[in-house]
Amino acid sequence: MNLYCDNYLKTAAESREKMLILAIESSCDDTAAAVLADDRQVLANVISSQFAVHEKYGGIVPELASRCHIEAVWPVAQEALAKAGVSLDEIDLIAATQGPGLVGCLLVGLTFAKSLAMVRQIPCVGVDHLAGHLLAILLEEHKPEFPYTALVVSGGTTSLFTVNSPTEFRLLGRTRDDAAGEAFDKTAKLLGLGCPGGPAVSKLAEQGQADAFTFPRALTDGSLDFSFSGMKTAVVNQVNQFRQQNQPVPVADICASFEQAVADVLVNKTILAAQRCGHNQIALGGGVAANNRLRQQMAARCAEEGLSCFLPSPVFCTDNAAMIALAGFHQFAAGKTIGPDADAFSRSPLN
C-alpha cells in the first residue's frame, strides 16, 4: 500500500468517514454508474441500456455504442449521484473500467473519469472488467471468504480463476474459442429470437425438454479450458436439418437442450477446479451467471459435493458499475491509481 492511500484510509477511519467511490462502466453497450461507500454499501447502481439502438442490426455496432456512451455518461453519473444522495464534491475516488472491451466505448468512460478526477483533484483508478466480475459476489450479504474458485461467464469471457484476495487472481482455464454468452447470442440469432440472446433462449428453454437433443460437451478429459464452437455448430446443423426437410423447428426443445449442454460443462469444470485447488467455495460472475438453469444446477452440485455456492443477484451478474467501484476501492487501497495518460486496453492481462 502506498503512503498516500495508507494515509487516506487511516484518516477516513479515524474520522469515521466513509470513502465514497463514483464508478463508470462503458465496456460494451451499457452505460453504467454507481456510488459505493467503502467496500460494502451500494448507494446507487444505475444502468442505461442501448438495446433499442442496436436491436435492428442484430448485434452491437461499436461506433454507435461509443456515440451513445458519450450522450449517456454524464446523465447516468448525475442520476447515480442523485440516487445516492451525495454531491460530486463529496466523492473521494473515481473508478472506471479500463478494459477489456470495445476500445472506443472504454475510452468514453475512462476519459470522462480521468477528466472528472483531474477537475476535482481526486484520485482515479482504472479497473479490469474481469476483476469486477470476480469480486461482484462480495457486494452481497452472503459472500465467500478468500480464497475461492470463481467462474466468470459472460458475452466475451468464459474463464475459471482462483481469487486469493481482492487484487490477486490466478487463471485456471478459459475458453479456446467462443464464450458461453456468445454461444447463447448466436443460438438466439439463428432461431430468430433477437439480441441479447441469453435471456430469450433461457425463457423459451423453460417450455422445452432438456433431453430432446444431445449437443456435444467438449474437453471433458479433465481440462479446465472450455470450447463452445462445436456445440454451436451442432445446434446450427440440427436447425438446418429441420429447415431443409420443411419441418417446424422445435425451438423450445433446442433452447432447453442447448442450455443444458452449456450448464453441464460450466458446472462440471467449476466443481473440478475447486476440488483441484482444495477450495470449498465457488462463486459465479458475468451475464450468463444470471441463467436460472445454471444457477440451480451449480447450487445442487455444490450441495452434493459439500461445497458452498455463492451466486450474485442478477443485477450484479450483468455489466454494472457497482462491481467496478468495489474493485476500484481495493485497487486504490493497493496503491494502483492512474494518471491522465492511462489508455484503455481491449484484452485483459488477467485472462
Euclidean distance between CA atoms 48 and 60, whole angstroms:
15
To ligand KG4, the closest distance from the beta carbon of 28 in angstroms equals 6
Residue 293 carries which DSSP code? Answer: H
Q: Which residues pair with 310 in a beta bridge?
A: 283
- Taking CB under 6 A as the rule, does residue 250 contact ligand KG4? no
- Taking CB under 6 A as the rule, does residue 337 contact ligand KG4? no
To ligand KG4, the closest distance from the beta carbon of 320 in angstroms equals 8
- Indicate the residue among 30 and 92 with the shorter CB distance to ligand KG4: 30
Options 173, 208, 286, 312; binder of ligand KG4; rule CB under 6 A? 286
Binding marks (x or -) toward ligand KG4, 62..91, rule CB under 6 A? Answer: ------------------------------
**Assign residue 134 a region: left if phi > 0, alpha if psi is -120 to 50, beta otherwise?**
alpha
- Taking CB under 6 A as the rule, does residue 270 contact ligand KG4? no
- Taking CB under 6 A as the rule, does residue 159 contact ligand KG4? no
* Residue ranges in 11-40 that form contacts with ligand KG4 under rule CB under 6 A: 28
Q: Which three cell numbers stand for residue 290?
A: 444470471
Residue burial 175-188, b: 16+ Cβ < 10 Å; e: rest: beebbbbbbbbbbb
Please give the size of the binding site for ligand KG4, defined by CB under 6 A: 19
H or E stretch at 225: none
To ligand KG4, the closest distance from the beta carbon of 20 in angstroms equals 25
Binding marks (x or -) toward ligand KG4, 289..328, rule CB under 6 A? Answer: -xx--------------------------xx---------
Q: Which residue has the cell 442520476?
A: 79
Enumerate the H helices of the chain as residue ranges: 3-14, 51-55, 62-84, 103-120, 129-135, 180-190, 197-205, 229-244, 251-277, 292-305, 314-317, 322-333
Of 26, 174, 22, nearest to 105 by C-alpha is 26
- Taking CB under 6 A as the rule, does residue 257 contact ligand KG4? no
> 3-class DSSP state for residue 89?
helix
Options 48, 97, 202, 337; binder of ligand KG4; rule CB under 6 A? 202
Euclidean distance between CA atoms 113 and 92, whole angstroms:
12
Options 99, 109, 155, 173; binder of ligand KG4; rule CB under 6 A? 155
Options 198, 208, 312, 328; binder of ligand KG4; rule CB under 6 A? 198
- Indicate the residue among 100 and 123 with the shorter CB distance to ligand KG4: 100
- Indicate the residue among 20 and 195 with the shorter CB distance to ligand KG4: 195
Considering only the stretches 74-82, 143-151, 167-175, 286-294, report the one whose residues sit in contact with ligand KG4 under the rule CB under 6 A.
286-294
Considering only the stretches 117-125, 215-223, 266-274, 281-289, report the one whose residues sit in contact with ligand KG4 under the rule CB under 6 A.
281-289
**In Å, what is the CA distance from 296 to each residue of 59, 99, 135, 202, 253?**
29, 31, 21, 13, 19
**In Å, what is the CA distance from 252 to each residue of 192, 210, 219, 295?**
12, 9, 26, 19
To ligand KG4, the closest distance from the beta carbon of 235 in angstroms equals 14
- Taking CB under 6 A as the rule, does residue 199 contact ligand KG4? yes
Residue 292 carries which DSSP code? Answer: H
Options 123, 156, 173, 328; binder of ligand KG4; rule CB under 6 A? 156
To ligand KG4, the closest distance from the beta carbon of 145 in angstroms equals 24
> 3-class DSSP state for residue 345?
coil
Euclidean distance between CA atoms 214 and 167, whole angstroms:
40
Of 100, 154, 103, nearest to 129 by C-alpha is 100
* Residue ranges in 174-193 that form contacts with ligand KG4 under rule CB under 6 A: 181, 184-185
Q: Which residues bind ligand KG4 (CB under 6 A)?
A: 28, 154-156, 181, 184-185, 196-199, 202, 286-288, 290-291, 318-319
